[in-house]
Structure 1
Amino acid sequence: MQTLTETQELKAARRKAITAGGIGNFVEWFDFALYAQFATIIGFHFFPSNDPTASLLATFAVFAVGFLARPLGGLLFGQYGDRKGRKAALSLAVLLMSGATLAIGLTPSYATIGVAAPALLLVWRILQGLSAGGEYAGASSFVVEYAPVGKRALFASINPVATALGTIGGAMTGLIVTWAVPDDALEAWAWRIPFIVAGPLGIVGLYLRSKVEETPEFSAVLKQTENTGKQHAPVVEAFRTTKGRMLILFGWSALNAVAFYLLTSYMVAYMTQRVGFEQSEALGIYIIGLVAFALACPIAGILIDRYGPPKVAVGSAILLAALVIPAFGLMETATLTSAIIGLSIYGMVVACIATLTPLLMVDLFPVHIRYTASAVSYNLAYAVFGGTAPYFATWIVARTDIGEMPGYYVMSLCVLGVIVATVGMTKMYRGNKVQDPEIAKVMATV
């Protein structure tokens, strides 16, 4: 029986965990999203070409290469986080992300230093990828491990909300800069301002994460390891004991990756180059779509806690498959109101898929290998599907001249999502209760 003081201390610890996890995630994705917001201008400076589409494709290719570093980041940060603690790993991740983003803002263009410019850009993107590979899995473990029974999905929704708010913050910064300076100044130097802002934000995230304690679940595992003196190998154990669960997370994350990165990393370029909106108009539509996504995430969390992950997973994948083409069709009309409605509909449905992901990252794996197993499987999916999504969408639209083509790609991943939910998740859950005896035992003590 918990005393009143213990209960108050636990609630205070939960609030700190939510703040540190959420704000750290905000900083990470504020930095990570800036690249996509200024993809067109970055292409002009680092990959000059007479063909704007070729420059944009080169920019998105570097965006995709950064994602190839994410599995390695997940492996490194996961090992460290499962052995030394989520807090230490997450503090390092946010510092690495902010430093790399600042470096992008300070790197001279191709006109100044030649081929060294795109080479350095590639290095900074790889460092961003390493950081992102460790961030989301660690933040998911950190926040959800503090959640009370019956509210794990609601707590899990904090991570996609923070990700959306960070992306909105990056877009708002970009929008303010776009409005505040003339177009020629924006293209010449002002685009660098949001990247330079990343430095101070990273210090803030680092400070907040230094003030929070480890989760009760991980602290118990760490104490047991210290008592026995045995060191475990998270990577080896994860692949040996949880291959099936890692495959479930990989499949669901593939759908999440494509749907989410079309929302956050493709739409501004799509609406400016394909649909014909001004940069400021496209950013405004984009911000509203992300707000709709963020508002829908807690609602999705409540539904998941009530009806269970398998039912919500099947329903959200089918709903997205049904609505994605109409949503793109509304954006293709090139009217402001229709584009806002289309992107908002798309964002709200993607929110259900995105909220399920951090919950699965925690529920599917035992505490002592959770960071590693979730980070590796999640980031492998993002490397294969997420990083290539903007590039593939840009290429297929240019090739076919059909703006809705990315929607058909999303539909194909929705089929995979339904299969994963019906075949995989139903074996892991009974209602909204995870069936794995080891994991269930740990959850019951929180």
Structure 2
Amino acid sequence: MTSASHDAPIDAARPQQGALVRGRLGSIVGGCVGNLIEWYDFLVYSIFSVYFASSFFPQGDQTAQLLNASAVAAVGYVARPLGSWLMGRYADRNGRRAALALSVSLMCGGSLLIAMTPTYATIGVAAPVLLVAARLLQGLSMGGEYGTSATYLSEMAPRHRRGFFIGFLQVSVVCGQLVALALLLFLQHVILRPGQMEAWGWRIPFVIGGALSLFALYLRRGIAETEAFEGSRSKEATRGSFRSLLAHRRAILLATGITVGGTISFYTYTVYMQKFMVNTVGMSREAASLTAAGALLCYLPLQPLFGFVSDLIGRRPVLLFFGAAGAALTVPLLTAMSHAASVQQAFALNFAGLIILSGFTSIHMLVKSELFPAEVRALGVGLPYAIVTAVLGGTTEWFALQVKAIGHEDWFYWYVAGAALISLIVYLVMPETRWSSRLEDASGQPREPHQP
């Protein structure tokens, strides 16, 4: 009798614990899948711009058209700080789930607008104007998406495995790129004949992106809200307030410095790398696409792995690995890649750069989440990141193409290495957030996710 009376509460608790675990994992999966689709929509512009640049701009040499397309891409990045401020404030005041649904709706509109815009030959200057408007919508969406997704996953993940779980946020980013690259290869080799990609085939990925965004909206309407947000409801006056965010100036400065080197390196080794292989290495578009896709596929499992390492030894050692290796090895890596004699050599050098980059991409958003309190966390995580990305990340490939056009491409290599050095200095002076995380509640324990 006594044994039964003691066992009964335990047995009764097991289904509840199982439901909590399933709810937590389901919400994490929903957040990651939505983020994957958002990044697919946003990055497909850069991946396919090689093919549609001539449709939106007057005829000229390839580098000039790519520069124009890159300038419009930068417009999307310029809009990201505004989107981060609006969406971060919305997430801190109205909930992470509501903000994630709103961001994917904006992305849907931007993708469909690009898909439907006529060419320059048909409507003249209105074509690039509409392209700019679509990138503004996408920039507003992505400005709020990444910071809010990171906040959501950081608050949902188990305390002792946050690094591991937040690594899947970057997995979703890379998967977005891989889906776009896989679609590019499928269209090139299976569906379209020569010339059709440039003529109209580039519209297909944007139509698919709009449809996927609607699916992401459906997923996000069913995810759980976090207990961290629910616990911040008592701070109604300060939630999402920019003035309240400014009270955490040191955290803002750290979040900014953490991002500088990583964001430039990310856009160098992922988004720009395909163009680099075509324009500088001299590879065909098809070979460059396959090489970039293969390197990204190998890069994928490194994200939760590096995140898991940060759970064991702390965040700073992982970031220090990126900062030191990025500062010391970027110039030799890019120089060697510019002279790559084979596809295999280009792949190995690209993947080496991605290994270094993993020390940043796997955990940087978690580190920022650990710096800010819940009432301003989405705003604090997203806004500094969006500003740095707008100023540095969004102009990375534009700067690379500019210095190439004037015959000094090696300046770009030193630029990337210098940015990594700046972040290395920040990593050396920052605290170890693994042991001083602001994601904990007053008791120092993680909260269970709130079920809708």
Report the residue type matching 2:208 in the other structure: V
The 2-side partners of 1:235 and 1:110 are apart by 43
> SS where residue 156 of structure 1 aligns?
helix
Q: Is the 1:25–1:139 contact (alpha carbons within 8 Å) kept by the matching residues of 2?
A: yes
The 2-side partners of 1:324 and 1:440 are apart by 40
The 2-side partners of 1:277 and 1:220 are apart by 54
Name 1:375's counterpart in structure 2: 382
1:440 deviates by 6.6
Q: Is the 1:26–1:162 contact (alpha carbons within 8 Å) kept by the matching residues of 2?
A: yes
Name 2:450's counterpart in structure 1: none
Report the residue type matching 1:32 in the other structure: F
1:5 deviates by 3.5
Name 2:445's counterpart in structure 1: 444
The 1-side partners of 2:51 and 2:343 are apart by 23
The 2-side partners of 1:257 and 1:382 are apart by 6
Select which of 160, 167, 173 maps to 2:183.
173
Report the residue type matching 1:376 in the other structure: L
1:417 deviates by 1.1
Name 2:435's counterpart in structure 1: 433
The 2-side partners of 1:414 and 1:240 are apart by 26
Select which of 242, 261, 267 maps to 1:236.
242
Q: Is the 1:46–1:110 contact (alpha carbons within 8 Å) kept by the matching residues of 2?
A: yes
Is 2:369 the partner of 1:362? yes
For residues 191 and 140 of structure 1, do their structure 2 counterparts lie closer, same or farther at Cα, with a shift above 3 Å needed?
Answer: same
The 2-side partners of 1:330 and 1:209 are apart by 44
The 2-side partners of 1:362 and 1:8 are apart by 27
1:4 deviates by 2.7
1:442 deviates by 6.7
1:324 deviates by 2.2
The 2-side partners of 1:440 and 1:259 are apart by 34
> SS where residue 187 of structure 2 aligns?
helix
Select which of 225, 228, 234 maps to 1:214.
225
> SS where residue 220 of structure 1 aligns?
helix
Name 1:54's counterpart in structure 2: 64
Name 2:5's counterpart in structure 1: none
> SS where residue 157 of structure 1 aligns?
helix
1:41 deviates by 2.2
Equivalences, count: 435
The 2-side partners of 1:124 and 1:242 are apart by 34
Q: Deviations over 1:76-103 (max 9, x none)?
A: 1011100110001001111211221121
Report the residue type matching 1:283 in the other structure: S
1:326 deviates by 3.4
Q: Is the 1:23–1:205 contact (alpha carbons within 8 Å) kept by the matching residues of 2?
A: yes
The structure number with the bigger radius of gyration is: 2
1:416 deviates by 1.0
Report the residue type matching 2:396 in the other structure: A
Name 1:329's counterpart in structure 2: 335
Select which of 200, 206, 219 maps to 2:211.
200
Q: RMSD value over aligned CA atoms?
A: 1.9
The 1-side partners of 2:112 and 2:68 are apart by 21
Report the residue type matching 2:276 in the other structure: Y
Is 2:371 the partner of 1:387? no
Is 2:285 the partner of 1:251? no
Name 1:413's counterpart in structure 2: 419
Give percent identity, aligned residues only: 32
The 2-side partners of 1:177 and 1:392 are apart by 30
For residues 6 and 247 of structure 1, do their structure 2 counterparts lie closer, same or farther at Cα, with a shift above 3 Å needed?
Answer: farther
> SS where residue 150 of structure 1 aligns?
helix
1:410 deviates by 1.5
Name 1:105's counterpart in structure 2: 115
Give the TM-score taking structure 1 as reference length. 0.93
Q: Structure 2: any 5+ residue segments left out of the alignment? A: 1-8, 448-452
Give the TM-score taking structure 2 as reference length. 0.92
Q: Is the 2:57–2:65 contact (alpha carbons within 8 Å) kept by the matching residues of 1?
A: yes
Q: Deviations over 1:349-381 (max 9, x none)?
A: 112201121112310100111011111111011
Q: Structure 1: any 5+ residue segments left out of the alignment? A: none
Is 2:70 the partner of 1:69? no
Q: Which runs of 4+ in 1 moved over 4 A?
A: none
Name 1:89's counterpart in structure 2: 99
For residues 442 and 357 of structure 1, do their structure 2 counterparts lie closer, same or farther at Cα, with a shift above 3 Å needed?
Answer: farther
Q: Deviations over 1:313-354 (max 9, x none)?
A: 112211122332333234321410001111111112112201
Report the residue type matching 2:412 in the other structure: P
The 2-side partners of 1:291 and 1:201 are apart by 21
